[in-house]
């Protein structure tokens, strides 16, 4: 049996009749290469299916092309989806990712995580830190690395990238208002989470803009279990709609209400946030707000690379989310008549 090794930069150089440094310059896009030489090297690269390793490229360019990522609460949908999107964008751009995950009970690990990533020779740090408490700990850690933070709120210390959570909540609540709802409760997420705070503010803003008083609000923990228990004990009274801060709590809420004979949307409308992959299969299919994580990953990587290349200006950039209307939201004409 013949074992074929992956071709090296030296194999490409020998086949193309150039030095390995010339191959390296072509791979890394140097301008001072004759077009005929560049074309010959690129042809050999394609024929040999050569892929430069990150180690070889680091030696050739004296750059690691590696980004360190600190992920707080990686088991939650938002942070996990953001990490996957960033990894995909980085891979496509030729960057490697080193990740340090922080568990729900280990917020203090963010200090040691930043220090550990810095020792791995990363060129920049990306922080997916949805909780204010974790980010406060990081402020005391001086790594000296360009740092981009994924969060929807502006920050004077770092570059920040995020989905506009407040705008998404405004869209969700405005949709309910346009259906005719004037008593809209809010099932919020944990108060320590930036996204939860922004979504709650979006709920208040939409109501305020339409002259509608704020309804009942309660803070949950993102889980469907919390939504279920809330639904089992919630007395709607005159409330005809609930804006839930994520789809999982909305799912539990629908379950809890249905066990009591309160049907969605006949008796009460429910709108969520996130557009989980299974959201369209809820009973009923859930009206929700979709976050474009692929676009978020691309934007984050663009900002990280710009920071690496000495763009030190602190910026805040956001992506607009989309409202996805399904059948969990309807006119309150029937709900308003319940006894």
Which tens digit of pLDDT belongs to each residue from 79-134?
Answer: 999 999 999 998 888 888 999 988 765 555 777 788 788 878 888 999 998 888 88
- Under the banding of pLDDT at 50, 70 and 90, the label for residue 313 is confident
pLDDT of the residue at 227: 98
Q: Please check whether residue 268 is in contact with residue 211, taking contact to mean a CB–CB distance below 8 angstroms.
A: no
Residue located via tokens 């009923």:
284
Domain span at residue 108 reads: 66-164+292-321
Q: What is the CATH number of the domain that holds 25?
A: 1.10.260.40
Judge whether residue 337 has pLDDT over 60.
no
Most distant CA pair in the chain: distance in Å? 86
Q: Are residues 13 and 157 in the same domain?
A: no
Q: What angle do CA 167, 172, 174 make, to 5 degrees?
A: 90
Q: Are residues 196 and 332 in the same domain?
A: yes
Question: CA 22 to CA 26: how far, in whole Å?
Answer: 6
* Reduced 3-state DSSP string for 45-97: HHHHCCCCCHHHHHHHHCCCCEEEEEEECCCCHHHHHHHHHHHHHHHHCCCEE
Q: Are residues 131 and 187 in the same domain?
A: no
Mean pLDDT value across residues 295-305? 91
Higher pLDDT among residues 27 and 266, named by residue: 266
Q: Are residues 329 and 221 in the same domain?
A: yes
Q: Tell me whether residue 4 is in a domain.
A: no
pLDDT of the residue at 180: 97
Question: CA 274 to CA 246: how far, in whole Å?
Answer: 6
Q: Are residues 286 and 298 in the same domain?
A: no
Q: Tell me whether residue 36 is in a domain.
A: yes
Q: Tell me whether residue 315 is in a domain.
A: yes
Percent of the chain topping pLDDT 70: 88
Q: Tell me whether residue 1 is in a domain.
A: no
Q: Please check whether residue 335 is in contact with residue 182, taking contact to mean a CB–CB distance below 8 angstroms.
A: no
Q: What is the mean pLDDT of the chain?
A: 87
pLDDT of the residue at 60: 47
Q: Which two tokens mark 68?
A: 């360190």
Q: Which two tokens mark 144?
A: 């000296």
Q: Please check whether residue 136 is in contact with residue 148, taking contact to mean a CB–CB distance below 8 angstroms.
A: no
Which whole-number Å values give the CA distances from 212 to 86, 241, 259, 272, 297, in the listed order? 39, 13, 30, 20, 36
Please write the tens of the pLDDT for every residue from 185-229.
Answer: 999 999 999 999 999 999 999 999 999 999 999 999 999 999 999
Q: Are residues 19 and 128 in the same domain?
A: no
Last residue of a domain, one of 39, 61, 83: 61
Question: CA 165 to CA 171: how far, in whole Å?
Answer: 10
Q: Tell me whether residue 3 is in a domain.
A: no
Q: Are residues 176 and 128 in the same domain?
A: no
Last residue of a domain, one of 30, 46, 61: 61
- Under the banding of pLDDT at 50, 70 and 90, the label for residue 49 is confident
Q: Are residues 158 and 169 in the same domain?
A: no
Q: Tell me whether residue 2 is in a domain.
A: no
Q: Tell me whether residue 111 is in a domain.
A: yes
Question: CA 12 to CA 46: how far, in whole Å?
Answer: 10
Mean pLDDT value across residues 228-249? 96
Q: Are residues 170 and 231 in the same domain?
A: yes
pLDDT of the residue at 20: 73
Contacts of range 260-266, beta carbons closer than 8 Å, 24 or more positions apart: 260/231, 260/232, 262/236, 264/328, 265/327, 265/328, 265/329, 265/330, 265/335, 266/330, 266/334, 266/335
Give the three-state DSSP class for 260: coil
- The structural domain count of the chain equals 3
Q: What is the CATH number of the domain that holds 116?
A: 3.40.50.2300
pLDDT of the residue at 336: 46
Q: Tell me whether residue 269 is in a domain.
A: yes
Q: What angle do CA 88, 106, 227 make, to 5 degrees?
A: 80
**How many Cβ atoms sit within 10 Å of the Cβ of residue 89?**
21
Half-sphere exposure of 260 (CA within 13 A, CB side): 18
pLDDT of the residue at 3: 37
Q: Are residues 240 and 298 in the same domain?
A: no
Q: Are residues 299 and 312 in the same domain?
A: yes
């Amino acid at each position: 049996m013949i074992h074929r090794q992956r071709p090296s930069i030296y194999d490409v150089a020998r086949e193309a009749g150039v030095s390995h440094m010339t191959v390296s310059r072509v791979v890394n896009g140097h301008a001072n290469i004759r077009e005929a030489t560049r074309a010959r090297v690129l042809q050999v690269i394609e024929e040999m299916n050569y892929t430069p390793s990150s180690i070889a490229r680091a030696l050739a360019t004296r750059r690691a092309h590696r980004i360190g990522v600190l992920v707080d609460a990686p088991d939650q949908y938002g942070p996990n989806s953001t990490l996957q999107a960033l990894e995909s964008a980085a891979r496509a751009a030729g960057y490697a990712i080193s990740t340090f995950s922080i568990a729900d009970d280990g917020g203090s690990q963010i200090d040691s995580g930043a220090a550990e990533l810095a020792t791995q020779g990363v060129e920049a740090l990306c922080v997916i830190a949805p909780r204010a408490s974790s980010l406060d700990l990081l402020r005391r850690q001086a790594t000296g690395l360009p740092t981009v933070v994924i969060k929807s709120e502006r920050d004077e210390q770092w570059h920040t990238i995020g989905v506009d959570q407040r705008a998404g909540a405004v869209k969700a609540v405005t949709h309910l208002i346009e259906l005719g709802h004037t008593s809209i409760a809010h099932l919020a997420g944990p108060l320590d989470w930036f996204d939860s705070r922004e979504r709650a503010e979006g709920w208040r803003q939409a109501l305020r803009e339409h002259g509608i008083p704020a309804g009942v609000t309660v803070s949950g923990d993102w889980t469907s279990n919390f939504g279920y228990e809330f639904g089992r004990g919630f007395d709607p009274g005159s409330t005809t709609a609930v804006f839930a801060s994520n789809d999982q709590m909305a799912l539990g809420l629908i379950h809890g209400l249905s066990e009591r004979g309160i049907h969605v949307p006949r008796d009460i409308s429910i709108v969520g946030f996130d557009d989980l992959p299974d959201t369209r299969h809820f009973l009923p299919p859930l009206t929700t707000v979709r976050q474009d994580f692929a676009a978020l990953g691309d934007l984050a990587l663009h900002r990280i690379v710009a920071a690496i290349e000495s763009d030190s200006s602190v910026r805040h950039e956001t992506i607009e989310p989309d409202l996805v209307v399904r059948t969990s939201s309807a006119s309150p004409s029937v709900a308003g008549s319940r006894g």
